[in-house]
Structure formats: C-alpha cells, structure tokens
Amino acid sequence: MTISIGNDHAGTDYKFAIIKHLEGKGITVTNHGTDASDSVDYPDFVHPVANDVESKKADFGILICGSANGVAMTANKHQGIRAGICWTSEITALTRQHNNANIICIPARYTAVQQAIAMVDTFLETEFEGGRHQNRVDKIPC
C-alpha cells in the first residue's frame, strides 16, 4: 500500500508521527507536506497529494492542517477525490463506508496525535460498503 501525505505548518508534528506509524507497518509513504513550522500555503501541499490519489500513484491520501477545512476544500476540487474531514474514529469509518473517501483530512488543532493515528488506521482498514451508497457516490462529481 502507498499513502500520499501532505500538511501545512499546523500539521507537521502530526505528519511525522503518522509517517513513523505507517512505515512501521510496512506502508510506503510519499511526503508532500512541509517539514517545518513556518507558515505556508496549504494548497501547495494538497494538490500533489490529490494528484497522487487521482493518478493511482497512491492508494489513499492524508491531509493535515489546523481545522482540516482548507485542505478538504482544496482536495475536493479534483474530480477524482472524495476528501472527508474526520475528528473521531466513528466519523472516519462512516466517511469510508458511506462516502468511499479516498483522502482523510485531519484537524490538528482539534485532535490529539494518538487520536489522529487511530483515525488513520480506521481509514485504511475500513471498506466502502457500496450498495445503496454507490449511487450517491456516483453523483458527487460535477
């Protein structure tokens, strides 16, 4: 499995913790995020992640910023992306089960690092249910 990850300055510490966790599980991670805490423009780091997921260079994406709103809005401009903001493992499971999300957006200012890691695990382990949800997901792109 290959994961593409990106972040702005609010998510740098989270990104490094998530990368360490994923690599410890044998997962390949492509890092597109800033590696510093200096203020940056999040779209510069979101578009490469969304491109990786759209082009199938990555199986899934992870985006992290302060509220997760900016990264989600940016990622969802890509036709092949379904990026969901997640702040609990239950919401994370639903975004995969019902919406077939392919990018998880994590709000660093509103979650703890261990909570974020647990959400990433849930995201990667949860399957899309299909069925009645497939018709709805098919209607998402413009």
Q: Which residues are catalytic?
A: 65, 98
Helix then strand then coil, % of the chain, to nearest 5: 45, 15, 35
Residue 127 carries which side chain, given as an amino acid letter?
A: E
- DSSP for 35-96 reads SSSS---THHHHHHHHHHHHTTSSSEEEEEESSSHHHHHHHTTSTT--EEE-SSHHHHHHHH
Residue 123 carries which side chain, given as an amino acid letter?
A: F
Spatial distance between the Cα atoms of 54 and 11, rounded to a whole number of angstroms = 23
Residue 84: Cβ-neighbour burial (10 angstroms; 0-12, 13-18, 19+): buried
